[in-house]
Amino acid sequence: MRTIKLGNSMLEVPAIAVGCMRIVSLNKSGAENFVKTALEEGANFFDHADIYGKGTCEEIFADAIHMNDDIREKIILQSKCGIRNGMYDFSKQHILEAVNGSLKRLKTDYLDVLLLHRPDALVEPEEVAEAFDLLKSSGKVHNFGVSNQNPMQIQLLQKSLNQPIIANQLQLSITNANMISNGINVNMENDAAINRDGSVLDFCRLNNITVQPWSPFQYGFFGGVFLGSDKYPLLNQKIDEIAKKYNVTNTTIAIAWILRHPAHMQPVIGTMNPDRLKDCCKAADINLTRQEWYEIYRAAGYKLP
């Protein structure tokens, strides 16, 4: 598996991250087979959150991988905190408690990366800084990042933090590509020009923050998978045509499209199907041409001004 550097950290990580939000759908042997396949593919970066399956996803994963000191050294673990029932909570107390919970469920004594899951309107950056300092000095968390945050929110946090923000996890797929289309349509009077994110993609590139696209196969907000969907006939036709050319599946091309972007993004895939996982990993070896990338973009319905 090709690797990339995560932000400006020392971490060298696989180009594709394995999301574990849906691992709760697998039985014990299915989960074991899934993580085994991931490791065989070199996909040893696993994305978690304290809330996935109300905590059970972290537990199922730790059991499936047979967590021990030896295996722990071979994998990179990321988890998230800050979403609670009916609220977001970036208080020092909650961050510290949430990390302790994740460590316990994951059967480890450290996270390689901790992300703040969704912006908390009541965030007090100084409190987050205190929490991060304690987590860093105790060795419980090695690196820090955010998720679903815009440039101003990141700058506000960073002003108080003593550690760099190295990753920002954001929704991005071929069919949910506003963060790309608004940069192509600057100052135009069309919907694609609407800048919903404060130019977060360019901000992350400027500041060495790795964008981790989540839900790379979904349209809408968990609306369904665009591959094979009759909502996107032209897109599927184009992806199938390019897949045939490279002798890979449409799944591979959907991820290759994200990887072709020069921001060196790390897509977080959510499949629990070992064969599809392998297809996703194949994307790391494919470099779409500029023309193919734009053909797919346009086939998804985006227009060039």
Ligand X SMILES: NC(=O)c1ccc[n+]([C@@H]2O[C@H](COP(=O)([O-])OP(=O)(O)OC[C@H]3O[C@@H](n4cnc5c(N)ncnc54)[C@H](OP(=O)(O)O)[C@@H]3O)[C@@H](O)[C@H]2O)c1
Residues that bind ligand X (CB under 6 A): 19-22, 47, 147-148, 169, 214-218, 225, 227, 251, 268-273, 276
Smallest gap from Cβ 188 to ligand X, in A, equals 28
Q: For residues 272 and 179, what is the distance between their CA atoms, to the nearest angstrom?
A: 27
Smallest gap from Cβ 227 to ligand X, in A, equals 4
Q: CB nearer to ligand X: give 248 or 268.
A: 268
Rg of the chain taking only CA atoms, in angstroms: 19
Smallest gap from Cβ 48 to ligand X, in A, equals 7
Say how far residue 269 (Cα) sits from the centre of its chain: 7
Q: CB nearer to ligand X: give 77 or 185.
A: 77
Smallest gap from Cβ 146 to ligand X, in A, equals 9
DSSP 88-141: E---HHHHHHHHHHHHHHHT-S-EEEEEE-S--TT--HHHHHHHHHHHHHTTSE
Q: CB nearer to ligand X: give 226 or 302.
A: 226
Distances (CA, A) of 219 to 166, 173, 177, 232: 27, 7, 10, 10
What DSSP designation does 46 have? Answer: E
Q: CB nearer to ligand X: give 25 or 162.
A: 25
**279, amino acid identity:** D
Q: CB nearer to ligand X: give 166 or 227.
A: 227
Query: Which position's Cβ is nearest ligand X?
Result: 270
Are the CB atoms for 39 and 73 separated by under 8 Å? Answer: no
Are the CB atoms for 55 and 101 separated by under 8 Å? Answer: yes
Smallest gap from Cβ 23 to ligand X, in A, equals 8
Smallest gap from Cβ 175 to ligand X, in A, equals 10
Q: CB nearer to ligand X: give 174 or 185.
A: 174
User: Strand, helix or coil at 171?
Assistant: strand
